[in-house]
Structure 1
Amino acid sequence: MATANVGLWLYENGGGAEVEAKIVQALKQRNITSVSNLNLRDAYSHQGQIICHDVVMEDLSLFFSYNAGQQSPYQVYLYEAISQRVPTINNYAAFALSEDKFKTSYLLHSHGIPTADFRLCHKSDLAGLKQAMRDWGGRIIYKPTDGWGGAGIVKIEGEQALDMLAPFLADSALQYLYLERFIDYDNTDYRVDIVDGQYIGCYGRRARKDDWKTNISSGGSVFVREPSDEVVTLALKAAAISGLEIAGVDIIYDREQEKFVVLEVNGIPAFATPEQEKLGLNFNQKKIDAIVNLIDRTVHVAQAKVA
């Protein structure tokens, strides 16, 4: 008889469906059943229950949500509500933090983790924007606080460019601007995967020749890269501070300040695609095993509390 019933929602492209099948099989071997495709886009709430594809979400032992590309505000809203009743992975508070670049950098910086210099200001604070430009050598990076995959990230060079942007900012729906100092780096980064406080694997990403963004969705490419102990330790600390059970930590080397810095902590880092596995990124099974161990332990801890 199954000891637990876990709900799953994973991305399917890029080998995601195969990864999910392995997770389902591994859980089954531990006497844990699972229900797949619990996309909260299709869910509704009625009389104190959230129902998705005829599954009462509150009856689950745990909900594992792992799809970065299809998280609408409605889905996130229900994700938060569900987290109040059953364990979720990632836990909702850490997931929500990782979705906000400013709050993540703010927390990491307060714990002594090196990050890019950053500033948050009201959209009408043109003087503050220009001061950041001066302080950071004439180049700043604007990032949407809730973007992913490099979408919406813009490099702004010179105060004249800010003057040209001022009318647009005044008319936009933006209320505030998150800015970072443009870091002098070699156009490559480290993506370090962490699960349950354990180092899983690492790979590098390289920006295309005519760009500076390493994100794959922005044209960056993946290559095999071994991290130093310093990089791994920094990633482990950043993941722990963020509270994420599963994290992908993006790290670059600041050539001007001669130190590694954490750019982002991602709550839904992708598994290696079949094409990337052929390149030598061979950590998928280790990551699957660690996630299954995490799910197993989490549901049994929750059951012990109820008992």
Structure 2
Amino acid sequence: MKLAILSRNSKLYSTRRLVEAARELGHSVRVLDPLRCYLRIASDGFSLHYKGRPIAGYHAVIPRIGASVTRYGTAVLRQFELMGTSTPNSSDAILRARDKLRCHQLLAAAGIGMPTTVFGDNPDDTHDLLSMLGPPPHVIKLNEGTQGAGVMLTEKLSASRGVIEALRGLYANFLVQEFVAEAKGADLRCFVVGGKVVAAMKRQAPKGDFRSNLHRGGTAKGVKPTAAEQDVAIRAARVLGLGIAGVDLIRSARGPLVLEVNASPGLEGIEEATGADVAGEIVRYVAVRQRRAEQQRIAREK
């Protein structure tokens, strides 16, 4: 299999591990910076160039598109798709996951448990908006924040109103959610590949914080998720159309609740915490998926 990995930095742990796994499994692999890819779009076909040369013939592409380049990165990925390249996470699926509001609406419509969430635009509606949510504490999240950035906890109603007013003054898009106290600052990252949970870790927030992200000083250890937690994680990835996903859950009195679904989950934390070969699982899944797509194409042409 001729494999491309879309990544801004070939030295990142996740990118390096995917390259290593692909080569160990006998595949040809190349890392492409999506911002150095440029596109020709015409009714007679689609083409891609990279650093002055045409690129084509890739059987599969694994997107590692950061939040800061979502728009351009997904356009490049869509071009690969239009040229017939297989991908475990389509451009549309990534966009669904990146927009927290859209993601939450889709998950809730599918009956997947999640913290109660409210969203509004007009300052005149803030009081009623918060009354729809219930009493504080409240969790306020930027709609496109990552790694715990742009997530705030307010313990008083006046504080919630103040933060909301400040964010509206900055023209920021944000959500407000209930705070699930029984989670005790911990969450569960379930790594889903091809419709199964291949690894999971419990992350604990540092003392004095409620965010368990490893980038925020949280700690992690490998765990075996319950059948219910695995089912919720797999369903969440499926609803968004993601073959590869990091699904963050919290354990609540009413069962597992989805906090977020990450379309480009990092490998370092979960491989270190669990000892699992997650990169190998990803490459094997992509290879199987690509072979099936090729068989279907051949069958259609007969």
Bucket of the pairwise TM-score, normalised by the shorter protein: 0.7 to 0.9
Alignment of 1:5-24 (within 5 A): 5-10=2-7, 12-14=11-13, 16-24=15-23
In the other structure, the counterpart of 1:42 is 36
> Gaps spanning 5+ residues in structure 1: where?
none
- Offset at 1:302? 4.4
Give 3-state SS (helix, strand or coil) of 1:205's partner: strand
Alignment of 1:288-307 (within 5 A): 288-302=283-297, 304-305=299-300
> Which of 253, 256, 260 is equivalent to 2:256?
260
- Offset at 1:14? 2.8
- Offset at 1:42? 0.9
CA RMSD of aligned residues (A): 2.7
- Superposed CA offset, 1:75-97 (max 9, x none): 23333343333333311111111
Q: 1:191, 1:54 → 2: CA distance?
A: 40
Aligned 8 A contact 1:27 1:292 in 2 = no
Q: Are 1:180 and 2:177 counterparts?
A: yes
In the other structure, the counterpart of 1:151 is 149
How many residues align? The count is 293
The one-letter code of the counterpart of 1:45 is L
- Offset at 1:216? 1.1
How does the TM-score come out when normalised to structure 2? Answer: 0.84
Q: Are 1:110 and 2:116 counterparts?
A: no
Aligned 8 A contact 1:133 1:158 in 2 = no
Identity %: 18
Aligned 8 A contact 2:199 2:274 in 1 = no
Q: Judging changes above 3 Å, is the alpha-carbon distance between structure 1 residues 200 and 302 closer, same or farther for their aligned structure 2 residues?
A: farther
Alignment of 1:174-213 (within 5 A): 174=172, 176-184=173-181, 185-213=183-211
Q: 1:238, 1:170 → 2: CA distance?
A: 30
Alignment of 1:82-101 (within 5 A): 82-86=80-84, 87-101=86-100
- Superposed CA offset, 1:26-67 (max 9, x none): 253xxxx43x12111112234752212355355433322124
Q: Judging changes above 3 Å, is the alpha-carbon distance between structure 1 residues 206 and 145 closer, same or farther for their aligned structure 2 residues?
A: same
| Greater alpha carbon shift after TM alignment, 289-298 vs 199-208 | 289-298
Aligned 8 A contact 1:203 1:281 in 2 = no
The one-letter code of the counterpart of 2:257 is V
> Which of 77, 83, 89 is equivalent to 2:75?
77
- Offset at 1:300? 4.5
- Offset at 1:301? 3.7
> Which of 270, 273, 281 is equivalent to 2:266?
270
Give 3-state SS (helix, strand or coil) of 1:88's partner: coil
Q: 2:24, 2:185 → 1: CA distance?
A: 39
